[in-house]
Amino acid sequence: MTERILMTEFKDLANMPWLHVSLINDNVFKWKVALIVLNKDSLYYGGYFVANMTFPKNYPYSPPDFRFTKSLYHPNVYEDGRLCISILHAPGEDEMSGESASIRWSPVQRVESVLISVISLLDDANIDSPANVDASVLFRDNPAAYKEMVVKDLEASKKDIPKDFIMPTTEAYGAKKKEEVVSYVDDWADSDGEFDFDSGSDDDESMEVNGVDSDAEDEED
């Protein structure tokens, strides 16, 4: 069951523009993932941050292990590349840390939710619970100096981009998401389901769907 769940998730994530994922030695319990930051407002924009993920045999009842192959200078990243992030903590309440079960791992979580949380954490550091105290202090007291450290990590990450890999762009990602929205709307319009609005008032005879903004772009992370 676990192998089937992981393979399904792997196939779904393989199509994500913000992610480059592969199996390590064809082992579905060991993944190599590269997080690609497509948010232009992020300090980490354009980065290619490689990490290894290891899954327990009882996944999804226990969380995976996530570890950057190169440690980042970040308040919530340990020297060995591990993260201090609630979603990777074992299920249940933790009286010592005060973490509630709602923000920790649970069987309803999936790999995608972990990776999105990691990308969000890069820019939204939690300095109240630091894994790297020095980085936490610099982040708080000297943002300019902290940014210089981020730039070093960013440039170092680009050296890990495979020679045959084409980095996605924010524009291409946004266009892809727009196509998905348009396709969804077209499929809905072409569906066999019909709605009877005649029973309403005369004002209801003319109805318009404005739920999709063709100029809106989805996020990154």
- pTM for the model stands at 0.75
Question: Kind and range of the H or E element at 28?
Answer: strand 27-36
Active site residues: 84
Position of tokens 């630091």? Answer: 130
Query: Domain ranges in the chain?
Result: 2-158
Tens digit of pLDDT per residue, the chain (221 long)?
899 999 999 999 999 999 999 999 999 999 999 999 999 999 999 999 999 999 999 999 999 999 999 999 999 999 999 999 999 987 766 666 666 677 889 999 999 999 999 999 999 999 988 999 999 999 999 999 999 999 999 999 999 999 999 999 887 555 555 454 444 444 455 555 444 444 444 444 433 333 444 444 444 44
CB 73 within 8 A of CB 132: yes
What CATH number was assigned to the domain covering residues 2-158?
3.10.110.10
Q: Which amino acid is at 5?
A: I
